[in-house]
Amino acid sequence: MKSQVSPKQLARAIQVSESSVKRWCDQGRIDTFRTAGGHRRIPLTHVLRFLRDHSYELVRPEVLGLPASMGEKGSDLDHACSRFRQALLNGDDTGAHSTIFELFIAHDDPTVLMDRVMAPALHEIGDLWMVGAAQVYQERRACEICLRILHELRQVIPPPNESAWLAIGGTPECDPYYVPNAMVDLTLRWAGWQTNPLGVALPFETLRSAIEHTRPRLLWLSVSHIDDEERFVREYERFYQATPAGVAIVVGGQALTEGVRQQMQYASFCDNLRHLETFAKSLASPAVNGKQVGGDREMPLGANVAKAKGDCPLTGRQRPDDCEDERSAENHAPTR
């Protein structure tokens, strides 16, 4: 994709006059900047946001450096998931981007795209790998493509208000999986939070330091793999007890089986990203269940944020034939 386009290119892409586009720029409906020579330029991320917000049809996407297929309509989520999976398997970066962004422009929320297209596609690739029908490099490459898409979606969604609450998070020391962590970050940004993703494989000690230095309202912990459950539970409990009461701890991940969760305390366990979005929005509202939010970290809401498969750096243990009704992680055997 191009990083920026001219008003003329945007006008050709959506089949309107160039003067209309320039007028929208002058009115502030489209964010623009000027080059050293005084020419208007529009960041592509702002173009995509404008198309989504104002429901303009992308008639000639190739003018913007996007795939021509991106303007095609009528792709439901199940079909999109199949196309996305095949693009990932083939290493088709352009096709994968096209699938996600055409749905985004058509008003599908990022959480829907992650829960019902990206995660199931990655899950199916993991299943193929486990039976020898896909190679390790195909899985790794699929995750790299997904990380790029998530980064670009993060640039497209509106930035949070400066006064928005801060969420930080990552994965514990035994967990090296980036994709689930990036999905959680994007979900919270979409819910209107400022976010500061800390990365993966983080000792609890450094998470405590991060809380002390950044003073967040929410900390997420994506747990896709645990080496030693007893040690994890012990260290997590010490971490929880040392966390200030004003910080809501949200956890999720396939490794957090029912047996592990029964030994943990947390504000919310989320079993899909839509649940996380709902919880984050409710937490950011002036009151939750009629009570002013603040000191109480115990806000139960059944959900599992970010699920990944054992040695496969994938997101989401999600039934391909039932993407909308995602099952809890404990109903699935470990996929190592």
Q: Which residues contact 67 (CB under 8 A, 6 or more apart)?
A: 61, 94, 95, 97, 98
In a domain, 205, yes or no: yes
Same domain as 115, residue 48:
no
Rounded Cα gap, residues 131 and 118, in angstroms: 21
Same domain as 205, residue 168:
yes
| CATH code for the domain of 18 | 1.10.1660.10
In a domain, 295, yes or no: yes
Inform me whether the pLDDT recorded for 304 exceeds 80: no
Rounded Cα gap, residues 135 and 153, in angstroms: 27
Percentage with pLDDT > 70 across the chain: 82
Same domain as 169, residue 121:
no
Instruction: State pLDDT tens for residues 92-125.
Output: 998 999 899 989 988 789 999 999 999 999 999 9
Least confident residue range of 59-68, 149-158, 281-290: 281-290
Whole domain around residue 39: which residue ranges?
4-66
In a domain, 241, yes or no: yes
pLDDT at position 52: 83
In a domain, 325, yes or no: no
Rounded Cα gap, residues 92 and 65, in angstroms: 15
Domain boundary among 106, 131, 155: 155
| Number of structural domains found in the chain | 3
pLDDT at position 296: 38
| CATH code for the domain of 92 | 1.10.1240.10
Average pLDDT over residues 196-217: 97
Rounded Cα gap, residues 15 and 154, in angstroms: 27
pLDDT at position 154: 94
pLDDT at position 73: 53
Domain boundary among 13, 42, 66: 66
Same domain as 255, residue 268:
yes
Rounded Cα gap, residues 154 and 189, in angstroms: 8
Same domain as 47, residue 88:
no
Instruction: State pLDDT tens for residues 254-281.
Output: 899 999 999 999 999 999 999 999 999 9
Inform me whether the pLDDT recorded for 206 exceeds 50: yes
Percentage with pLDDT > 90 across the chain: 65
Same domain as 299, residue 167:
yes
Rounded Cα gap, residues 194 and 163, in angstroms: 9
In a domain, 265, yes or no: yes
Same domain as 80, residue 55:
no
Same domain as 294, residue 181:
yes
Query: Which two three-digit tokens encode residue 33?
Result: 């900047």
Same domain as 188, residue 291:
yes
Give every strand in the sheet of 40-43, ordered side by side: 4-5, 40-43, 33-34
Inform me whether the pLDDT recorded for 288 exceeds 90: no
pLDDT at position 65: 80
In a domain, 26, yes or no: yes
Kindly report the three-state secondary structure assignment for every residue of the chain: CCCEECHHHHHHHHCCCHHHHHHHHHHCCCCCEECCCCCEEEEHHHHHHHHHHHCCCCCCHHHHCCCHHHHCCCCCHHHHHHHHHHHHHHCCHHHHHHHHHHHHHCCCCHHHHHHHHHHHHHHHHHHHHHCCCCCHHHHHHHHHHHHHHHHHHHHHCCCCCCCCCEEEEEEECCCCCHHHHHHHHHHHHHCCCEEEEEEEEECHHHHHHHHHHHCCCEEEEECCCCCCHHHHHHHHHHHHHHCCCCCEEEEECCCCCHHHHCCCCCCEEECCHHHHHHHHHHHHCCEECCEECCCCCCCCCEECCCCCECCECCCCCCCCCCCCCCCCHHHCCCCC
In a domain, 43, yes or no: yes
Residue 225, CA distances (Å) to 201, 230, 270, 323 in order: 10, 13, 16, 22
Rounded Cα gap, residues 269 and 297, in angstroms: 12
In a domain, 323, yes or no: no
Average pLDDT over residues 67-75: 61
Average pLDDT over residues 294-316: 34
| CATH code for the domain of 243 | 3.40.50.280
Same domain as 95, residue 40:
no
Same domain as 288, residue 167:
yes
Same domain as 296, residue 175:
yes
Domain boundary among 66, 96, 120: 66
Residue environment code for 69-107, b if the CB has 16+ CB neighbours within 10 A, otherwise e = ebbeeebebeebbbbbbbbbbeebbebbbbbbbbbbbee
Inform me whether the pLDDT recorded for 307 exceeds 80: no
